[in-house]
C-alpha cells in the first residue's frame, strides 16, 4: 500500500510516467472510442503518481486527440487509438545522456525527413499546437518542459509513419527521461537556450508543413547538436566546481 500525503493522493511521480502508463491503458482499449477512463484519483492510485501529474498527462493526450473530456461526466477515449510502436525487447536499457544524444542525432533527423514527406494537415496542426503549449510554460517548471518537449518530438516521430522508428524513438526517449539525469538537464537549460530551441522547433514545423524533407532534417540536426553542446557545457561546469 502506497503512503498517502495530506490531500489523500499518492506521492507524486513524474508526468512522463503518468503519460506513458496512460498511453498503455488507452492502447489496451483500441477500437473502443467513447470508453470512459477511471477518475483522476483512481488513476493516481493505480499508477503511483500524483493527481497533478495525471492532469498534466491528460492535457497532453487531449491535445493529441487521444481523449476528450466532458465537464461533470468524466474523461473518455477518443475516436483514434495512439500509434503503437513495435516492441523492441532487445534494446539495451543501460546508457548515458551522451550515448542518447548520439542515438538521437542518428534517428531524429531521419524522422523529421519522413515527417516532411508524409505528415498530414492534422499532424502539422498538432505540432503547432504542441509548440504553442511549450511556449506557455514557466521556464522554472522542468516537469512541464520535459513533458511537452517530449510530446512535440514524439509527434514528429508519429508523423514519420514508421512504427519501427517510432519504437526506437520511444526507447531512446525513455532513457533520456531517466530521473537521475534530471538535474544535469536542468542545469543545461537557460532562457537563451530555450528561446533558441523554440526557434529550431518552429523552423522544423515550417519545413514539415512545406514538405521540405532535407531542410527539416538539417534543422533537426542543428537543434540536437545545440542540445548536445549544452549538456557538454553543463558537465564541464560541474567538473570544474568539484575540483
pLDDT digits (tens, 9 = 90+) for 211-234: 999 999 999 999 999 999 999 998
129, three cell numbers: 499546437
Give Cα separations from 114 to 15, 149, 157, 160, 216 (angstroms): 28, 19, 9, 5, 9
Residue 150, by phi and psi: left (phi above 0), alpha (psi -120 to 50) or beta?
Answer: alpha
CA-based end-to-end distance of the chain: 44
DSSP E strands: which ranges in the chain?
Answer: 67-70, 74-77
Give Cα separations from 57 to 33, 148, 181, 184 (angstroms): 19, 9, 21, 23
Q: What is the mean pLDDT of the chain?
A: 84
**Region 48-64: what's the mean pLDDT?**
90
Distance of CA 109 to the CA centre of its chain: 16
pLDDT tens, position by position, 3-36: 333 343 334 468 888 888 898 888 888 777 888 8
Amino acid at each position: 500500500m502506497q503512503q498517502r500525503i495530506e490531500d489523500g493522493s499518492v506521492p507524486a511521480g513524474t508526468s512522463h510516467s503518468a503519460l506513458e502508463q496512460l498511453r498503455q491503458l488507452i492502447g489496451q482499449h483500441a477500437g473502443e472510442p467513447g470508453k470512459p477512463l477511471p477518475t483522476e484519483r483512481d488513476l493516481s492510485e493505480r499508477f503511483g503518481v500524483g493527481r497533478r501529474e495525471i492532469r498534466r498527462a491528460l492535457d497532453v493526450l487531449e491535445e493529441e486527440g487521444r481523449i476528450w473530456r466532458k465537464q461533470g461526466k468524466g474523461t473518455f477515449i477518443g475516436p483514434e487509438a495512439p500509434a503503437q510502436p513495435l516492441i523492441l525487447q532487445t534494446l539495451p536499457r543501460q546508457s548515458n545522456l551522451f550515448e542518447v544524444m548520439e542515438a538521437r542525432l542518428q534517428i531524429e533527423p531521419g524522422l523529421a525527413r519522413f515527417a516532411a514527406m508524409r505528415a498530414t494537415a492534422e499532424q502539422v496542426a498538432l505540432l503547432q499546437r504542441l509548440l504553442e503549449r511549450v511556449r506557455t510554460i514557466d521556464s522554472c517548471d522542468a516537469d512541464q518542459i520535459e513533458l511537452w518537449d517530449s510530446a512535440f518530438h514524439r509527434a514528429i516521430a508519429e508523423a514519420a509513419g514508421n512504427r519501427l522508428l517510432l519504437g526506437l524513438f520511444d526507447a531512446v526517449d525513455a532513457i533520456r527521461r531517466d530521473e537521475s539525469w534530471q538535474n544535469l538537464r536542468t542545469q543545461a537549460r537557460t532562457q537563451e537556450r530555450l528561446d533558441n530551441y523554440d526557434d529550431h522547433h518552429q523552423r522544423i514545423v515550417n519545413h514539415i508543413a512545406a514538405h521540405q524533407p532535407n531542410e527539416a532534417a538539417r534543422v533537426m540536426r542543428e537543434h540536437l547538436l545545440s542540445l548536445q553542446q549544452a549538456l557538454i557545457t553543463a558537465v564541464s561546469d560541474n567538473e570544474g566546481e568539484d575540483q
